[in-house]
A and B are shown apart, each in its own frame.
Chain A
Amino acid sequence: MNDRAENTLLVLPGLALLALAFFVPITQMLILSVSGDDGPTLAHFTRFLGDPYYLGVLWRTVRLSVLITLICAAIGFPLAYIMARVGPRLRLWLIVLVILPLMTSVVVRTFGWMVLLSRSGLIPDMLRDLGLVGRNFAIMQTETAIVIGMVQVLLPFMTLSILGIVTRIDPRLEEAARTMGCSFLQSLRTVVLPLAVPGIIAGSLLVFTLSASSFVTPNLLGGARIQVLAASIYRSVTQTLDWPFAAAQAVILFVGILLILVPYARLAGGRSNG
């Protein structure tokens, strides 16, 4: 046996598994998305894109995902920066703080939000007691509930993505900026933030993709009336049993994600190189 044979043997099981159990299923789905009763058709796509209801679902998905990504970045950047600059003991606790929710099932975390946000739950109760909202105030079954739940689910991804980059920024750069007369916030804005851009971008890409394609949290917190695209796909598969239509929606979801992400990544790549 030579080196080539040994290496081939080592990759082969994984290669075969991914080819047969990953690429073939995706191909099958692509084929199904354009198959009709008599030959190939684009009917499933035109049905989706010609229906105001589904366009509304698509628009809500994009809108909520952008909002969720922005909020995650706004909380994730300062959190990651703090994690990178505190002492080792506190850092360990903060990492556990981020990892524990991350490693807990999404279903469990969403259940926690269902309890907190329900009509008689802690948060609406508190807002009512403070007099901030009226008696009939409800968060459950609204887009706000989806955003709150999804930000909690996805914030750890954003924070860890940014943390990976921020820990590599030399603190002496900030010290230099401070010595030259920058205030702390100025050094943060003009030194740390630009250097952290690759992490923020990687985190945003991840959070946006995960947000646009999730349905467990939106279904449970938003209810049946507030549908997002992934929830609509799930319904087509399990309730209306219209698989070709589900496949077409999945293709639209993926193409949509790519259409938003590729220019964003390119723009960002250009900026961080230049």
Chain B
Amino acid sequence: MVKSISTPLRIATMVFVVFTAIFLLAPLVVVVGVSVSESQFIAFPPSGFSLRWYEEVLGSDAYVGAAWISLRVAILVTITATVVGGAAAIALHRRKLPFSSALATFFLSPLVLPTIIYAIGMLMLWSAIFGPVSIVTLWLSHTVVTIPYVVRTTLAVLSESNPFLEEAAQTMGASRLQRLWLVVVPQCRPGLIAGAFFAFNISFDEAVLALFLRKPGLTTLPVQIYGQLEFSPDPSVAAVSTIMIALTITLILVIDRMLGVQKFASA
């Protein structure tokens, strides 16, 4: 295909790709640049080179505390969303339950509703029943918004799996639990892994639910950064942000190792 394209058009395509790449990456590059600046003020290009802002971040209770909360929530969410969503996907795939397709829609519905609307509802309900929000509120609500991803990735993998393996295992005398654990779950593995990565990434980076469901002492990393940006941004914000970007890159590398980035992107 590409061979038969005229030279000017090919140049135009290259220019377009380069500009789009700059546009997509510029904010990330700038953040990394600011984080190593010597100056007290946020400036890009940075003046000088120093790691003092990283030192500041690692010594700051606010940032380290927020990072710890984000990490705890993200790990809890990843586990629950993967287990609960994966189990549901296995049952949905069999299509033996009444209202199977309605159930599938039900499980994907949090994807359709804007998060801000759900966030208000959760805040209002929790305050009415339990009073102040807690880490449990954040855990539950992040699990709700990430379950659809696990269901979707697992269903996609199951739809391409061999349906007769389970029957074969049954014929050979495997019990229900053995069939589920030794045959079906391994078949789901790539879907479960992709879903788990989605869940971790969304929970760790998510700002909307975390902004609505916060209280003093319950601030996730994105909320801490948002607060700093609203009031007094200094290069330490850039240093935390750079750490988050580094985490994202690590995550992408791990995903590529385990699944391949292309497969993940099409999920």
Contact = CB atoms under 8 A, between A and B. Distances in A.
Nearest to A120: B43
Contact of A104 (B28, B226, B266): B28
Contact of A237 (B88, B97, B115, B212): B212
A174 B4 CA distance: 11
Contact of A184 (B5, B28, B201): B5
Interface residues of B, number: 93
Nearest to A167: B266
Interface string B54-73: 00000000000000000000
A138 interface: no
A267 interface: no
A111 interface: yes
B27 A152 contact: yes
A51 to B, nearest CB: 20
Nearest to B126: A25
A29 B25 contact: no
Contacts of B13: 78, 82
B116 A104 contact: no
Report whether over half of chain A's contact residues are helix, strand or loop; otherwise say mixed. Answer: helix
A213 B118 contact: no
Contacts of B195: none
Contacts of A34: none
Interface residues of A, number: 90
A26 interface: yes
A24 B125 contact: yes
A243 B113 CA distance: 19
Nearest to A85: B1
B229 interface: yes
Contacts of A42: none
Interface in B181-203: 201
B30 A112 contact: yes
Nearest to A24: B125
A33 B191 CA distance: 39
Given A79-B20, A116-B30, A97 B124 contact: no
Given A11-B97, A115-B34, A100 B28 contact: yes
A226 interface: no
Interface in A90-111: 91-92, 94-101, 103-111
A184 B4 contact: yes
A164 B110 CA distance: 22
Contacts of B110: 18, 22
Given A91-B262, A101-B28, A254 B84 contact: no
A169 to B, nearest CB: 11
A103 B128 contact: no
B140 A97 contact: no
B107 A18 contact: yes
A1 interface: yes
Nearest to B20: A79
A126 B117 CA distance: 40
Interface stretch (A129-137, A195-203, A245-253): A245-253
A233 interface: yes
B1 A175 contact: yes
A216 B122 contact: no
A17 B107 contact: no
A254 B252 CA distance: 33
Given A11-B91, A29-B121, A103-B251, A22 B97 contact: no
Q: A-B pairs with the 7 shortest C-beta distances? A: A112-B27, A213-B114, A25-B121, A105-B205, A29-B121, A10-B91, A14-B88
Given A22-B118, A100-B248, A155-B24, 11 more contacts: A8-B91, A25-B122, A79-B16, A97-B24, A105-B205, A108-B225, A111-B229, A112-B30, A116-B44, A163-B266, A174-B1
24 contacts: A6-B180, A13-B88, A18-B147, A28-B128, A29-B125, A95-B262, A97-B20, A97-B21, A97-B24, A104-B28, A104-B205, A104-B245, A105-B206, A112-B241, A115-B34, A152-B23, A155-B20, A174-B1, A185-B9, A212-B114, A215-B116, A219-B230, A237-B120, A238-B211
